[in-house]
């Protein structure tokens, strides 16, 4: 999501408690495109394992849905806390939560209950936001306290949320007898940002979680989660796939590519040939990418990636839909497109609609329909699953 000044990048990284198959923390986020808002929730279920996962999922789902319906964060928190049961022994709720509601202008509201306090990192420092504590009246005098923070985010701000598996990591060790500690977590984050000021939300969250695991000598004693919201300059990507409907539009396609301020992918042999002719740039095939099941990658001066069309974008859709981790050692066309998509924020699809004359039945343009449907699927995944800003134009 973006405004005139920044894009809002958001991601969360988890690691399970050692020996557990599921994480007892849950992170959910949703982009409300019509309202230009992003809502995100991090919840930590009591204990670990499946029971904790169920409780955290229930809490995060309630928080997300109530907030999306524009209920006040205070009312949302009150409803959740009155709904969740309380552990009879420890007298604490079965789940904690942090809820974030941010719009495209940077107006941000955060409500927290029993999670470690989030960090607002601004200009290389941890900046305390405007916050106030609110008492939620409970039965038999069992009141609970939430913290509500409001502020206007600025470009290059980062919000860092984490479960207590992060700040309590290393507890009992020689290095951290009382745990890593919130203060030390903050100092570690600032050092990472100083080392690489443009570090992405994904990489920053992963570095924090990995360090917590190292603090526990490679065996986490609790589920560890870290979510990052980063307000930054948008990274733009243009994907051209398919020749224009009318050959007279070939030059317009070339001008789109020539004038685009960002990275560019050409997906489709005919599309690449048109651009090669119009831009007077030769196409060279990379022979070292021919060991894949997909057609090889090509090169063109001024273009970041040139690939085959339908087969490749179909593979891209499959990989975006799955939870498969793209290994750094892989190098085929679909992998490269996926990496570029995930590393971009504002993605533009320029889709040609010319019917391929090679089809036996011109009234049934199979390749055209496949391309359209696959690209629509990719657009949906990028918007819903990866919260990207996506635009599609047919030519």
**Residues 213-231: tens digit of each pLDDT:** 999 999 999 999 999 999 9
**Alpha carbon distance 241, 145 (integer Å):** 54
| pLDDT score of 364 more than 50 | no
Quick check: pTM over 0.75? Answer: yes
| pLDDT score of 290 more than 80 | no
DSSP category for residue 385: T
Q: pLDDT at position 72, please?
A: 86
- pLDDT band at 324, cuts 50/70/90? low
| pLDDT score of 168 more than 60 | yes
DSSP for 144-206, written as a single string: EEEEEEEEE--TT-EEEEE-HHHHTTTTTSSS-TT-S-HHHHHHHHHHHHHH-TT--HHHHHH
CB-CB contact of 50 with 22 (8 Å): yes
**Which has more pLDDT, 33 or 87?**
33
| pLDDT score of 232 more than 60 | yes
Alpha helices in 346-388 (DSSP H): 366-384
For the ranges 32-36, 169-173, 287-291, the lowest mean pLDDT is seen at 287-291
Average pLDDT over residues 286-304: 83
Q: Mean pLDDT score of the chain, rounded to an integer?
A: 89
For the ranges 89-103, 126-140, 165-179, the lowest mean pLDDT is seen at 89-103
| pLDDT score of 181 more than 70 | yes
- pLDDT band at 367, cuts 50/70/90? low
| pLDDT score of 360 more than 50 | no
Give domain limits for the chain.
7-232, 236-394
Strands 303-307 and 263-267: parallel
CATH fold of 7-232: Phosphatase 2c; domain 1 (3.60.40)
- Structure confidence by residue, pLDDT tens digits, 8-66: 989 999 999 999 999 999 999 998 888 889 999 999 998 888 989 999 999 999 999 99
- Structure confidence by residue, pLDDT tens digits, 333-346: 999 999 999 889 89
Q: pLDDT at position 71, please?
A: 86
| pLDDT score of 104 more than 80 | yes
pLDDT more than 90, % of the chain: 69
| pLDDT score of 208 more than 50 | yes
Average pLDDT over residues 355-376: 64
Quote the radius of gyration of the chain (alpha carbons, Å). Answer: 24
CB-CB contact of 386 with 342 (8 Å): yes
CB-CB contact of 44 with 96 (8 Å): yes
CB-CB contact of 213 with 16 (8 Å): no
């Amino acid at each position: 999501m973006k405004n005139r000044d920044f894009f809002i990048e958001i991601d969360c990284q988890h690691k399970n408690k050692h020996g557990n198959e599921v994480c007892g923390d849950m992170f959910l986020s949703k982009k409300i495109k019509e309202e230009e808002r992003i809502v995100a929730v991090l919840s930590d279920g009591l204990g670990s394992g499946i029971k904790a996962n169920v409780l955290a999922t229930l809490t995060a789902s309630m928080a997300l849905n109530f907030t999306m319906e524009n209920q006040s964060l205070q009312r949302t928190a009150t409803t959740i806390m009155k709904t969740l049961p309380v552990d009879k022994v420890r007298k604490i709720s079965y789940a904690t939560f942090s809820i974030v509601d941010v719009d495209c202008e940077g107006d941000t509201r955060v409500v927290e209950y029993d999670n470690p306090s989030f960090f607002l990192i601004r200009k290389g420092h941890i900046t305390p936001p405007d916050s106030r504590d609110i008492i939620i009246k409970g039965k038999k005098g069992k009141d609970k306290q939430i913290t509500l923070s409001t502020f206007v985010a600025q470009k290059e701000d980062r919000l860092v949320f984490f479960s207590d598996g992060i700040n309590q990591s290393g507890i009992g060790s020689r290095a951290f007898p009382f745990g890593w500690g919130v203060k030390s977590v903050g100092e570690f984050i600032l050092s990472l940002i100083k080392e690489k000021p443009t570090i992405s939300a994904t990489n920053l969250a992963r570095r924090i979680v990995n360090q917590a695991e190292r603090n526990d000598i490679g065996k986490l004693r609790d589920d560890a989660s870290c979510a990052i919201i980063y307000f930054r300059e948008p990274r733009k990507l243009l994907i051209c796939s398919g020749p224009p409907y009318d050959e007279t539009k070939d030059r317009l396609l070339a001008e789109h590519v020539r004038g685009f301020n960002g990275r560019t992918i050409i997906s489709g042999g005919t599309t690449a040939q048109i651009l090669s002719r119009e831009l007077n740039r030769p196409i060279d095939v990379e022979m070292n990418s021919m060991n894949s099941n997909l057609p090889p990658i090509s090169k063109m001066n001024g273009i970041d990636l040139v690939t085959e069309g339908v087969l490749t974008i179909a593979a891209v859709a499959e990989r975006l839909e799955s939870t498969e981790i793209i290994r750094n050692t892989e190098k085929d066309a679909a992998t490269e497109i996926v990496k570029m998509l995930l590393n971009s924020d504002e993605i533009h699809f320029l889709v040609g609609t010319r019917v391929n004359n090679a089809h036996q039945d011109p009234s049934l343009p199979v390749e055209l329909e496949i391309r359209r449907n696959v690209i629509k699927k990719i657009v949906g995944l990028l918007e819903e699953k990866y919260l990207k800003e996506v635009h599609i134009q047919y030519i």
